[in-house]
Structure 1
Amino acid sequence: MLAAAQRLRRSDDFAAAIRGGRRSGRGTVVVHLDLAGSPDAPDPAENTAAPNRAAREPAQADGAGRQPAPSRAGFVVSKAVGGAVVRNKVRRRLRHLVRERLAGLPAGATLVVRALPDAASASYARLGADLDAALHTALAPRKPGRRSR
């Protein structure tokens, strides 16, 4: 299970990560990764499209002993994946996979993992491989010349 500080709970947090983050999809999952709260993220003052981004940024470390905000994760598993038993099984598998990978994300990053219908019949290994590939793509620097959403 993820620690309480590492879980997304509010719908505003989910919406911010989905709207403002990078999206990368693979066969069983779609990953939305928002690096707005991480120290190596671009300066929010440069981005005029998101005026209230500063309001949702976690506190940064300073000389007063505050720790940087931890990376956080949330999961979206819709009824298209299957019944309640299947959805909970997929959510448990994804939560376990993400827990192992959360430390590798920049501090303050927000991750939303959305399960696709194929996740219901996918093996644990395939879910892990798809999650790794999607995270790798979402963390890769953007190519010059591509428009940002």
Structure 2
Amino acid sequence: MLPRAHRMTDPGDFRGTIRRGSRAGNRQVVVHCRTDEESTGSLVGFVVPKREIPLATDRNRVKRQLRHLMRARVDALPDGARVVIRVQREARDRTSSELDRSLESALDRAWARWAR
């Protein structure tokens, strides 16, 4: 489970990351990321729309899988990192290993865009 200190809860952080951050995605997830030079801790937020995944049990399962996958990656994020992961409809039927590959590729591309 992703430690509470790394969970994004402030709506302003979500808005700022989505509007001003870089974006990359695939059929399962879309990743928005940026760095906040004024902060030292890394924050990760998840958006799982009801329109994309209608059943609450499926939304919660996908969110739990992604939180677990981000737990291993949060220490590798740069200082002040802000990451929002938006789930697409295709993620509902994917295994954890498939989500892991999708998340890794989207994160790599989003950070590469942010670095430019």
Question: Please, what TM-score do these two structures have when normalized by structure 2?
Answer: 0.92
| Structure with larger Rg | 1
| Structure 1 residue aligned with 2:80 | 108
RCO greater where, 1 or 2, for CA within 8 Å and sep 6 or more? Answer: 2
* Cα distance in 1 for residues equivalent to 2:41 and 2:61: 26
| Structure 1 residue aligned with 2:55 | 83
What secondary structure sits across from 2:45 in the alignment?
strand
Map Cα deviations across residues 10-39 of structure 1 (whole Å, 9 max, x no partner). 1111001101111000120000001133xx
* Cα distance in 2 for residues equivalent to 1:101 and 1:2: 10
Map Cα deviations across residues 98-134 of structure 1 (whole Å, 9 max, x no partner). 1111111101100000000000011111100010001
Q: Mind listing any 5+ residue stretches in structure 1 that lack a counterpart? A: 38-56, 59-68, 143-149
In the alignment of these two chains, the number of paired residues is 113
Map Cα deviations across residues 22-81 of structure 1 (whole Å, 9 max, x no partner). 1000120000001133xxxxxxxxxxxxxxxxxxx32xxxxxxxxxx2211010001122
Report the aligned-residue RMSD.
1.1
Report the structure, 1 or 2, having the larger strand content. 2
| Structure 2 residue aligned with 1:23 | 23
* Cα distance in 1 for residues equivalent to 2:7 and 2:96: 21
Question: Please, what TM-score do these two structures have when normalized by structure 1?
Answer: 0.72
Conserved? CA contact 2:28–2:87, under 8 Å: yes
Q: Among 97, 111, 114, which residue is 1:139 paired with? A: 111
Report the structure, 1 or 2, having the larger helix content. 2
Q: Mind listing any 5+ residue stretches in structure 2 that lack a counterpart? A: none
